[in-house]
């Protein structure tokens, strides 16, 4: 892991995907001690893949099909301005 960069870059997790108990992502690092909240991946390709998988799930499981819908789910207003 590199230092001095934004959190998502350091974690190879540009989507800042939260860790969820019982969920194991492909490419997830065995060592998750580098961040208390977000998943740490072994390479950026795995973080990008995880973003794609989440967006597909948002569409398939939650029926989202607009940019506004995806953003509202990804970054709810209760957590973000």
pLDDT of 1 above 90: no
Please tell me the predicted confidence (pLDDT) of residue 81.
74
Exposed/middle/buried for 47, CB within 10 Å: 0-12, 13-18, 19+? buried
For the segment 9-57, what is each residue's pLDDT rounded down to a tens digit? 999 999 999 999 999 999 999 999 999 999 999 999 999 999 999 999 9
The pTM score is: 0.85
Cα-based angle 20, 68, 9 (whole degrees, multiple of 5): 50
Please tell me the predicted confidence (pLDDT) of residue 76.
87
Exposed/middle/buried for 23, CB within 10 Å: 0-12, 13-18, 19+? exposed
């Amino acid at each position: 892991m590199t230092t001095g960069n934004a959190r998502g870059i350091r974690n190879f997790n540009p989507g800042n995907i939260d860790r969820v108990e019982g969920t194991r992502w492909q490419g997830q690092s065995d060592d998750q001690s580098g961040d208390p909240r977000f998943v740490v991946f072994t390479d950026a390709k795995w973080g990008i893949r995880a973003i794609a998988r989440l967006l597909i799930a948002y569409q398939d499981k939650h029926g989202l099909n607009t940019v506004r819908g995806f953003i509202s789910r990804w970054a709810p207003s209760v957590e973000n301005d």
